[in-house]
Chain A
């Protein structure tokens, strides 16, 4: 369920590192808890993301929730497809519905994140 090559936050975001870039998204558990997602507010290109700080919001029929950046660095690409098709987040949260790509400014921060096994345990505890 949760890819082993990803790192996870306790707030249910994931990051996949590709060289010096982190691709970020929200987890399967997050989208299931939120329900049908109707709107995603992505960061602007060039935003300086800070680990643990809000980088956008995701709105479902139930609620609006903050997205916390799992890593720090500059936002270099965003997934424009989500503007037209927010439902992608429900269908493929770990793949096609990635949110943004961030050029890592502090790769050592990755050590503070959970691995897939720890994240799985967190999800089991919460549900």
Chain B
């Protein structure tokens, strides 16, 4: 059935708590060669406990095997394609890792004096410059820890600029094709959210738009390309309309991997945008992360960027805290430094040519998948796709097979599922983003799998509805898990 390898070792694995037995330990410490300190005296009686109840006790080999076995239940970009639309699960090149493990970078401490870490500061300065050049913006802050954090920082910058002009205004406009985090960002930053409906091409309706931009509107938050994978072709006109009313244009740059090296949001009139280094710039997601969500701004917003800012003083990099208009810190220290090293390594390894080629290949791959699957799956929006394409389960739903079922069945074919039921404006959405990382062979295997599942949905829908069949755990009860979550393990009895 499948031409892909399977990653699951079918072996039960107890929890560390269940493997524990009293007195076991992973290491033996040598005798103290300094005077012993009584922790009760040093920290105070109340802050010291003799025993942690239920704390697991195991040997080193048991712990190593436990986690290694667990890792075999996982699916990873190093095993195969991860077509999770909107998440941009591209390969994390080993060159990035080599750079991040250089001793002076890996062991640098944020409290080291500036003159000892000039290399680290130079890396951050160069990354700021590179990101500004790639996006067509004037200044960049590397502090935000991930995309949504970058959004919040960006909207706080807009609020600060407008407040300095006398009125922070009340509302943020957000199209229904934007990333789901955008409305939350606007609300947390103290704005009211007004949703804008997309037109039938999946874009902002230019006819209706000017009347929505009232004196109350602080900014529009636009995701471009949007969550349908469609490029908002009128972005420059949208920026003009906003600017003419004293409002700003925020761009969610999570989909920058469809633009890098080809077009620059700054040139289209975008005032603020955030980037996801863990998407466009190939740093790891999730467990391999953390993320990083730099914010890029135009000149007029620069005074408001988080402190401290890098500043050249007599041929050295210094941290400048004397920024009276700054919104303040948004993150301890200077951002997730290890991620910044990886992103700069990727940018330098690719060069301008390479970044452009990655973008073009990402778009080509998405369109290859779209073309190949169009005869089998419903494609609700026919506008040209950028880096991802969105199908709906409409045809399969007639046989009682929904997007979630098809996603689960993909696991049996050796692939990570695509993004299920998002964007919300497409009922039964199946959002596929192959990225530029995939070879033609891997893309063809994915397409074969999707076509086979479309056939199964007609001929044997029950097989799809009850998938996955090849994993150690089959379909889990997501509803009960969400309604009655068990948040921690407790010993039985």
A residues adjacent to B (C-beta < 8 A): 33, 35-36, 38-39, 54, 59, 61-66, 86-87, 126-127
Contact = CB atoms under 8 A, between A and B. Distances in A.
A61 B180 contact: no
Interface stretch (B223-231, B277-285, B421-429, B439-447): B421-429
A63 B425 CA distance: 12
Contact of B483 (A33, A35, A64, A86): A86
Contacts of B427: 33, 126-127
B424 A38 contact: no
B479 interface: yes
Q: What range describes how many residues of B lie at the interface? A: 10 to 19
B482 A38 contact: yes
Nearest to B187: A54
A66 B422 CA distance: 16
Contact of B424 (A54, A63, A87): A63
A28 to B, nearest CB: 15
Contacts of A63: 180, 421-422, 424
Given A63-B424, A87-B483, 5 more contacts: A38-B483, A59-B482, A61-B478, A61-B482, A63-B180
A36 B479 contact: yes
Contacts of B180: 63-64
A65 B424 contact: yes
A66 B479 CA distance: 20
A77 B180 CA distance: 30
A35 B421 CA distance: 10
A35 to B, nearest CB: 8
A62 B407 CA distance: 13
A26 to B, nearest CB: 15
A7 B16 CA distance: 56
A126 B394 CA distance: 12
A88 to B, nearest CB: 12
Contacts of A39: 482-483
Nearest to B420: A62
Contacts of B420: 62
Q: Give the interface SS of chain B, mostly helix, strand, loop or mixed.
A: mixed
Contacts of B478: 36, 61
B325 to A, nearest CB: 32
B431 to A, nearest CB: 13
Contacts of B421: 35, 62-63
11 contacts: A36-B479, A38-B479, A39-B482, A54-B193, A62-B421, A62-B424, A63-B421, A63-B422, A64-B180, A65-B424, A87-B483
Nearest to B429: A62
Nearest to A65: B424
Contacts of B183: 66
A36 to B, nearest CB: 4
Contacts of A66: 183
Nearest to B195: A66
Interface in B64-93: none
Contacts of B424: 62-63, 65
Contacts of A64: 180
Contacts of B482: 36, 38-39, 59, 61
Contacts of A62: 420-422, 424
Contacts of A36: 478-479, 482
Contacts of A86: 483
Among A54, A59, A62, residue most surrounded by chain B Cβ atoms (within 10 Å): A62
Interface string B443-486: 00000000000000000000000000000000000110011000
Nearest to A126: B427
Interface string B408-427: 00000000000011101001
A86 to B, nearest CB: 7
Contacts of B483: 38-39, 86-87
A113 B180 CA distance: 27
B263 to A, nearest CB: 31
Interface string B249-293: 000000000000000000000000000000000000000000000
A62 B425 CA distance: 13
Nearest to B428: A33
A-B residue pairs, 3 tightest by C-beta: A38-B482, A36-B479, A62-B421
A66 B180 CA distance: 12
